Amino acid sequence: MPPRIEPERRRRQVIEAAFRVVVTAGVEGLSLRKVADEAGLNIGSVRHYFDGHLDLLAAAAKEAGDRMAQRLAQHPVERIRQLRRSEALDAVQALIEEVLPLDEQRRDEAIVVVELVMASRTRPVFHQMSQRMGMDLTEVLRAALDALGVRGSDTASARLAALISGMTVEAVTPHVEFGPDFIRSTLRAQLAALTEADDDMAGVSTDPTTTPTA
Counted residue by residue, the chain has a size of 214
Q: Is residue 207 part of a domain?
A: no
Instruction: Indicate which CATH number applies to the domain containing 145.
Output: 1.10.357.10
Global confidence as pTM: 0.83
How many domains does the structure of the chain reveal?
A: 1
How many helices and strands, by DSSP H and E, does the chain display?
10, 0
Q: Is residue 22 part of a domain?
A: no
pLDDT band at 195 (very low <50, low <70, confident <90, very high): confident
DSSP 153-204: HHHHHHHHHHHHHHHHHHHHSSSS---HHHHHHHHHHHHHHHHHHHHHHHTS
For residue 207, pLDDT beyond 90: no
Q: Is residue 86 part of a domain?
A: yes
Is the Cα dihedral 108, 113, 119, 123 positive or negative?
positive
> Residue 88 sits in which domain range?
61-201
CB 46 within 8 A of CB 36: yes
User: With 0-12 CB in 10 A as exposed, 13-18 as middle and 19+ as buried, what is 145?
Assistant: buried
Q: Is residue 25 part of a domain?
A: no
Which candidate, 184, 165, 187, places its Cα nearest to that of 113?
A: 165
For residue 60, pLDDT beyond 50: yes
Q: Is residue 11 part of a domain?
A: no
CB 100 within 8 A of CB 110: yes
pLDDT band at 209 (very low <50, low <70, confident <90, very high): very low
